[in-house]
Chain A
C-alpha cells in the first residue's frame, strides 16, 4: 500500500469542556472514497473542518501528504469543501462562483473563465453560467458547488452532507454523479454524512463515529456483516442482537446461552472466556423463516408481532417466548409463500457463520 494521503495521529479537539473528537488516529489513502458517518454531535463534521483548517486540533497531529497541517491557515490548503449549506455566493453568477477560487489564487481572467465554463459544461449546467445562483434549482446549485471546488484541481475533495437538502430522487442521481466523478478524477473524497444509505452506496471505506471516537473503520460490507460493537450494530440497524453467557469456546465456534436459547457463534480472533457475558448479531436478512421446525443448529420459535413494508422489502417483527425481539427481512414475494398474520407461530434459523460476535457485552 502506498503512503497515506492524510494521517490523523491522536487528534483531539475540544470546545471548552466539550470534547468533539477524543483521540483520533486514522489514515486516508490517495484515491479512496471515505465516508465518515455518525449521528449529529459525533465529531464527524469537526473532523472534516480540521482537515480544511477551519478548526485547529487541540492535541495530536494532522498531516496531508506528509506535511504537518496543524497551524496551516485554511486559505493555504488545497482542501476545497462542498458545504452542507452549499455556501454559494448569492451576489455572484454561477460562473463567477466557480471562478472564485481561481481568482483568489491569482489566475488571470481569460484562463479563469475558460476553466470555469469547462467545469460547468462538465457538470451539464453550462447553459446557466451567467445566471444568478439564487435562480437555480437545488440540483443545479449542487453542481455549481461541486464545480467550484473541483475547478481548483485538488488532490482531495471534502464533502459535508452535500445531499441533505435534496429530495430522495435527486439524492440517488447525485450519488451516481459523485461516484462517477471520483472514479474519473481518481482523487480522494472525504464524505461526511449521517445517512447510512449514502455512505454505503458510495464509499470504499466507512468510518463510524460515536461521541468523538471512531467506533469502527471498514468497508461497507464489513460494517454491515461484522459490526465491531453494540453501538455499530445498533446504528446500522436491521440487526438482531442477542446477549448471553459463554458456555464453551473452541477456535472455530463458541456456544452462547441466551434467554432465547443456546446458539452457536463464530469465534472471533480472541477466544472468549467461558462464563463471560457476550453479545452477537445476526443480520435481519440472513435469518430464515419456516413453518416447520428446521434442522439448522441455530433456531428459535417465535410469534409474529407486526410487519413493515418499504418498497418491495418487508421487515417482520417477531418475539420469542422469553420476550427476545427478532427482525427478519425478506422480499415481499417470498413472504407471499407463507400465510402470516399477527400472532402466527413460526421458526427462525440462521447459519453459524452468519452469527458475528461483538467486542464487549
Chain B
C-alpha cells in the first residue's frame, strides 16, 4: 500500500497548504506589527514596537476601542437575549406560523452586509436613531441573534424534555422552572453565545460604518486608515483585534463547543 501512503502524504501537504492560505494573513499581520518597515516585506526590517506606541498614544484609537467595547458588549447581551427567547420558544412550543417566526430571526445573516447597512442607515435615520452607538447596537443585535439562537438551541436539544415538567411537578411555576432549570442547564451555552456574538459584533464593519456617524468603532477606524494609505499601525490594531476575537472564540469553545463536540461524537 505504498501508493496509498504517498497519496496520504500528498493530500496532507495539500491540506497544510490550505491552512497556510487561511492563516497567512493572520500570521503576517502579527509579524509586521513588530517590524520597523513602513512598507513591510521580506527580508524583514528591525524589531520595533513603534506602531504599538503610536496607536497607544492615539486618543482616536482609544475612543474607538471604548466604543467597540460598549457596542460588542451590549449587542452580545441583546443578541443573546433574542437568540435565547427564540431558541426556547422553538424548543418548548409548536404554534402556527412558527416557520415565519424562525425565519424572522434566522434570515439576517443571509442578506449581504452592505445591503443591511444601507437598509439600516435609511430606516434608523428615518426613526431618528442613526449616528449613535445605540444604532450600531440595535443593528448588531439583529445580526448576531441567529448565532446565539443556534448555540442555545443545540444545548436545549440535549436537555431531557421532561426536565422542565419535572420542575413544575415539584411545585415550581413556569417562571421558577425557567430560573432554576432552563437557565442553569443552558448557562454554558449562554456564556458561549455571549462570547461569539460579541466577537461577531466586534469585527463587523459595514453596518457599523454606515450607521455610526461620528462614533467610530475599531473596525471602522481601521477602514478609514486603510482607505488613505498603507500604514502598519493597522497591523498593530489588527493584533489587538485578533487577540480580542480569539480570546472570545476560545472562551466560547471552552464553555460550549468542545462540550458539544464531545457529546455528539
Contacts and interface: CB of A to CB of B under 8 A. Distances in A.
A105 interface: yes
Interface stretch (B139-147, B179-187, B224-232, B242-250): B179-187
Interface in B185-206: 185, 187
Interface stretch (B55-63, B76-84, B105-113, B166-174): B166-174
Interface stretch (A83-91, A164-172, A194-202, A270-278): A83-91
B63 to A, nearest CB: 42
Interface string A103-132: 111000000000000000000000000000
B15 interface: no
B46 interface: no
Contacts of A100: 167, 170, 172, 180
B180 A87 contact: no
Contact of A104 (B170, B184, B187): B170
Nearest to A99: B170
A75 interface: yes
A210 interface: no
A47 to B, nearest CB: 15
Contact of B163 (A75, A79, A87): A87
Contacts of B168: 53-54, 73-75
A81 B170 CA distance: 8
Interface in A2-44: none
A101 interface: yes
Contacts of B171: 75, 101, 104-105, 152
Contact of B162 (A73, A79, A80, A85): A85
B30 to A, nearest CB: 39
Contacts of A85: 160, 162
A103 B173 CA distance: 12
B173 A75 contact: yes
Interface in A298-351: none
A91 B184 contact: yes
B165 interface: yes
Contacts of B125: none
A104 B162 contact: no
A89 B181 contact: yes
A74 B169 contact: yes
Chain B interface main SS type: helix
Contacts of B172: 75, 100, 104
A236 B167 CA distance: 36
A336 to B, nearest CB: 50
Q: Which of A54, A81, A87 has the most CB of B within 10 A?
A: A87
Nearest to A92: B184
B134 to A, nearest CB: 36
A152 B170 contact: yes
Contacts of A73: 168, 173
B166 A81 contact: yes
Nearest to B181: A89
B176 interface: yes
Interface string B133-166: 0000000000000000000000000001011011
A204 B162 CA distance: 28
A338 B56 CA distance: 101
Q: Which of A73, A79, A101 has the most CB of B within 10 A?
A: A101
Q: Which of B162, B163, B169, B176 has the most CB of A within 10 A?
A: B169
A356 interface: no
Contacts of A52: 169
Nearest to A54: B165
B32 to A, nearest CB: 46
Nearest to B162: A87
A79 B187 CA distance: 29
B265 to A, nearest CB: 18
A74 B187 CA distance: 25
A80 B160 contact: no
A145 to B, nearest CB: 9
A148 interface: yes
Contacts of B160: 85, 87
Nearest to B177: A75
A83 B184 CA distance: 20
A100 B171 CA distance: 9
Contacts of A83: 162, 166
Contact of B169 (A54, A90, A103): A54
Contacts of A104: 167, 170-172, 176, 180
Nearest to A158: B169
A87 B184 contact: no
A88 to B, nearest CB: 8
B104 to A, nearest CB: 26
A105 B170 CA distance: 8
Q: Which of B171, B172, B173 has the most CB of A within 10 A?
A: B171
Nearest to B163: A87
Given A54-B168, A75-B168, A89 B173 contact: no
Q: Which of B167, B184, B185 has the most CB of A within 10 A?
A: B167
Contacts of A92: 184
6 contacts: A54-B169, A74-B168, A87-B162, A89-B163, A100-B172, A104-B176
Interface of B: 160, 162-163, 165-173, 176, 180-181, 184-185, 187
Interface of A: 52-54, 73-75, 79-81, 83-85, 87, 89-92, 100-101, 103-105, 148-149, 152
Would you list the 5 A-B pairs with minimal beta carbon distance, nearest first?
A101-B170, A87-B166, A74-B168, A87-B162, A104-B171
Given A74-B169, A83-B166, 8 more contacts: A53-B168, A54-B165, A54-B169, A81-B169, A85-B160, A100-B172, A100-B180, A152-B170
